[in-house]
Structure 1
Amino acid sequence: MTGAIEAAVADLAAWLTGAAGDPVPLGPPRDDPGGGLTVWPLELRPARQTAGSGGTREPYRFVVRLLVSGGGPAALPALDRVLAAATAAGQPEVVLAAGDPALWRALGVAPRPALLLDVPARIDRPAPSAPPVRQPLRLRQLDMRTLDGRVVGPERQPLAAMRVELVGTAQATETDAGGRFRLVGVPHDPEAPDRPVRIRLVGRGRTHTADLDPADSDPVVVCAPD
């Protein structure tokens, strides 16, 4: 199985062959006055990662930086064609920063004109598998009820125009001039009749969350300032 680095290098070598007009083998720079270009991977560089949605894991992204060089004047026309092709196409990204003498000393060759090409690569991450369902599915129908209540301030004054949201649903309404609200279609589980109903109040520059007793026929929510 071909890895991400190997695939990125192979793709670039194929592109270089077309751009230069001659085969561009994979190998370190060489002192060969009559030779053509070579391409050699130098380093891996980080790339901006993207965040997944819906629990998916985005691929891990990175960049393979490769050195394209050739020995002697015979390599200059091919290097010129590669630079022109990359500039015209906008990819791969060209970095003109291969003149560091330390690089050539490390490679054991004389300094020469060269290009650095950055090629994006990625490693796909396997999607998490859902655990198997080991028991028969059980479908239950929930009752729907209407919830009436009031929203008041610290001195029991009614709070009008407060947005009342049923947490976990799209249900929402606003309080009237008397601070009253009505939410229609509130799920009610007969097997858990004491489970509180959670609402969120938004208004007057603050957000307040409250749990209401489903058995209370007229719950009152006191929305105090922070």
Structure 2
Amino acid sequence: MSVVRSTLSSLVSVLADAVAPDSVAVSDGGDVPTDPVIVRVVSLDRVGRSRRDGPVLDLELAVAVLCTGPRSLENVEQMLAAVEGSSRYAVVPLQPSESGMNGLGFRVRVPVPLRMSEPQGPPVLEPLQVTTVIGRTLRGIVVGPDGHGLAGASIRSRASALAVVSDGSGGFSLLSTPDPVQDFIVEYHGQSLAVTAPIDPTLTLAWAPQQYRAE
């Protein structure tokens, strides 16, 4: 049974207990029942989304409760008292089009929380290993063949995806690993070079195209 159908059945059970021995029928669009109490589904609306131990689609079920016959007044009184005893139900007057029908009645609004499934990622078939590395800010200089600093050179450590640009005197700083010797990619005037250099005592990257193989 669906969540909405189960909610409707619970409400009908409360109403039936209140008017016993009179019977309660649900009108679902077919032939109109002749029972003293008729419950007709009016609407099922989306209210929004929420989280309660997971994602929930909040719906609201609205039904019209109509009474006919010699015990209409008593049945309405007993059903109003029954639904008033539960904070789950909200009672409002019938709409003009509904109140024009023969008999007495009222409308009931019932919240329906519909649990939703969350998309799951692919299963991890092998143990997941995570290595934590402490970063270090490296400060250095890029120099040309004449030993002077190169301004506007792009420098990237192979240990990082971030690139920095050297300042007017060729100096730069970037975040990398504390490894004593590291590989760098230096780009200058559209040409890329792979440079390996020690980071201490002073990190110096020499721009010497004739000495290094292009990346």
TM range (shorter): 0.5 to 0.7
Report the Cα distance in structure 2 between the residues aligned to 1:80 and 1:4, rounded to whole angstroms. Answer: 28
Partner of 2:40, secondary structure, is strand
Q: Number of aligned residue pairs: give it.
A: 150
The partner residue of 1:192 within 150, 155, 159 is 159
TM-score, structure 1 normalization: 0.53
Give ranges in structure 2 of 5+ residues lacking alignment.
140-156, 165-172, 177-198, 201-215
Percent identity between the two aligned chains: 17
Is 1:131 the counterpart of 2:122 in the alignment? yes
Distance 1:60 1:195, change over 3 A: same
Larger radius of gyration: 2
Aligned equivalent of 1:44: 44
Deviations 1:99-129 (A, max 9, x none): 42xx478xxxx43211111111132211222
Quote the RMSD (CA, aligned, Å).
3.8
**How far is 1:77 from its partner?**
0.5
Distance 1:24 1:191, change over 3 A: farther
Give ranges in structure 1 of 5+ residues lacking alignment.
150-189, 198-211, 218-226
Distance 1:72 1:136, change over 3 A: closer
**How far is 1:62 from its partner?**
0.9
Is 1:39–1:66's contact at 8 Å kept on the other side of the alignment?
yes
Report the Cα distance in structure 2 between the residues aligned to 1:96 and 1:89, rounded to whole angstroms. Answer: 18
Is 1:30–1:70's contact at 8 Å kept on the other side of the alignment?
no
Aligned equivalent of 2:16: 17
Q: Greater strand share, 1 or 2? A: 2
Could you tell which deviates more after superposition, 126-135 or 10-19? 126-135
TM-score, structure 2 normalization: 0.55
| Aligned-partner residue type, residue 192 of structure 1 | A
Is 1:98–1:114's contact at 8 Å kept on the other side of the alignment?
no
Partner of 1:143, secondary structure, is coil
Report the Cα distance in structure 2 between the residues aligned to 1:194 and 1:6, rounded to whole angstroms. Answer: 55
**How far is 1:27 from its partner?**
2.9
Is 2:89–2:110's contact at 8 Å kept on the other side of the alignment?
yes
Report the Cα distance in structure 2 between the residues aligned to 1:194 and 1:115, rounded to whole angstroms. Answer: 66
Is 1:67–1:114's contact at 8 Å kept on the other side of the alignment?
yes
Is 1:37–1:79's contact at 8 Å kept on the other side of the alignment?
no
Distance 1:46 1:194, change over 3 A: closer
Deviations 1:132-191 (A, max 9, x none): 22455333231355x699xxxxxxxxxxxxxxxxxxxxxxxxxxxxxxxxxxxxxxxx97
